[in-house]
Amino acid sequence: MLAHVLDAARAVSDRPPLVVVSPATEAVREVFGGDGVDYALQPEPLGTADALRAALAVAPPDADELVVLSGDVPLLRPETVRRLLELRRAEAATVAISVMRPPDPRGYGRVVRDGAGRVARIVEEKDADEATRAIGEINAALYAFDAAWARARIDDVGPSVTTGEYYLPELVAMACAEGGTVVALDVADHRELAGINDRVQLAAAEAELRRRIVEAHMLAGVTMLDPATVLIDAGVEIAPDVVLEPGVVLQGRTRIGIDTVIGTGTRIVDSVVGERCRIWSSVIESSEVGNDVRVGPWAHLRPGASVGDGAEVGNFAEIKSSRLGPGSKQHHFSYLGDATIGSHVNIGAGTITCNYDGRAKHRTTIGDGAFIGSDTMLVAPLSVGTGARTGAGSVVTHDVPDGMLAVGVPARLRHPRTPPTPPEGSGPAA
């Protein structure tokens, strides 16, 4: 939620946003760190005015304008914040507030206006009588202040007689009492500034954010066969003319190249997928996929996997911390872990790189144009040379030189009866 609010703040100011945390919420520092975010500590959460007091204690002294946002309003749009600032500046107002009229105003502070229709004060629901609770116009908790005035008056805010908390709307009443100008921006979409108080509201906000993200990608040229079933994180980048089939999930900092098709049931997390690829019913995590690659169905690229241009990874194939070279094929029921595979290598069905000896991981290296027979066990550390081959069912425990054949359990080296035919594009075998 906070990431979306920070994005809105950054869109209207070149200063780092200042996040107020309490001892109970300091874990947000671990998520956002210090990269472009400043922090203020509210030792005890005693209300929104107390939070602003903590922020003002560390805010830049040369700031002449303050925008106060709530951390639980992820649907806030930058243009709304910009409109609020423009309104305050145009009216030279002491305070600008945002108001809305949701179908159900319960839980929000009510906006009380005077006989001339001007904002007079804001009454929190806990402090409101029945007549005030009947008011449908509510405070949306987005403010813009004259910074010098806010610094001068923040310590004058007293505690609520009901809760003992210090409420930020008291500053609105103070400004009105002094004859200052208080202006209100009416936000038509009541969902935009709705706070998140439970899991039901969280789910509703997530659904709206997903809809916005999906719509933006489609307007930018991405085809989605069933947009309602596609889940895309805000940080995902998708090139034009990508096709997303139903049930696709794209998360984290994923990037998808032009003309790629992401098939039904695929989940891609923090990964880069190149151009003209076909990914089908597979999971890709923290990996890199080149151009013109085929993955799936039911393949799993675990963190550290890298698949070269034109390679193919088939059903029930798994790759972890390994490089599958350009044009290589790993089609069926196989595992590559801690391995470097050259170009135009064939990985037979059931092949496993036995990378773990019970104490440490070891690497396997396979040279260009090699042919690994079905059900081969490659017991690392191990090197299979350029153009080398293994027989079906072999357990290879020693290095295989270039052009040699390893067969048996344990595998023994032989000269192949016929030299292997190099795959197209691989060049002659050594």
| Residue 164 buriedness (CB in 10 A; 0-12 / 13-18 / 19+) | exposed
Instruction: Note every long-range contact of 158-163, with CB atoms under 8 Å and residues 24 or more positions apart, other chains counting.
Output: 159/46, 159/47, 160/47, 160/124, 160/126, 160/127, 161/127, 162/126, 162/127, 163/47, 163/126, 163/127
**pLDDT tens digits, 96-138:** 999 999 988 888 889 999 888 889 989 888 888 899 999 999 9
pLDDT at 428: 43
**Bridge partners, residue 407, by sequence:** 412
**pLDDT tens digits, 359-405:** 999 999 999 999 999 999 999 999 999 999 999 999 999 999 999 99
Q: Which among 117, 150, 139 is positioned nearest to 185, based on CA atoms?
A: 139
- 215 has a pLDDT exceeding 70: yes
Residue 31 phi, psi (nearest 5): -80, -45
Please count the other Cβ atoms lying within 10 Å of the Cβ belonging to residue 198: 7
**pLDDT tens digits, 157-189:** 999 888 899 999 899 999 998 999 999 999 999
Domains of the chain, start order: 2-186 (3.90.550.10), 199-414 (2.160.10.10)
Residue 223 one-letter amino acid: T
* pTM recorded for the entire structure: 0.85
Please count the other Cβ atoms lying within 10 Å of the Cβ belonging to residue 160: 17
CA 402 vs. chain centroid, Å, equals 45
Asked if 279 and 261 touch (Cβ cutoff 8 Å), the reply is yes
**Bridge partners, residue 379, by sequence:** 354
Asked if 133 and 38 touch (Cβ cutoff 8 Å), the reply is no
**pLDDT tens digits, 292-331:** 999 999 999 999 999 999 999 999 999 999 999 999 999 9
- 430 has a pLDDT exceeding 50: no
Percentage of the chain with pLDDT > 90? 83
The catalytically annotated residue of 190, 332, 398, 415 is 332
Ranked by mean pLDDT, which of 12-26, 27-41, 235-249 comes out on top?
A: 235-249
> C-alpha distances in angstroms, 384 versus 36, 191, 288?
48, 61, 24
Q: Which among 406, 397, 343, 418 is positioned nearest to 373, based on CA atoms?
A: 406
Q: Is 332 a catalytic residue?
A: yes
- DSSP 3-state of 244: strand
pLDDT at 126: 83
- What is d(CA 393, CA 374) in angstroms, rounded to the nearest whole number? 6
- 416 has a pLDDT exceeding 90: no
Minimum mean pLDDT among 52-66, 99-113, 338-352: which range? 99-113
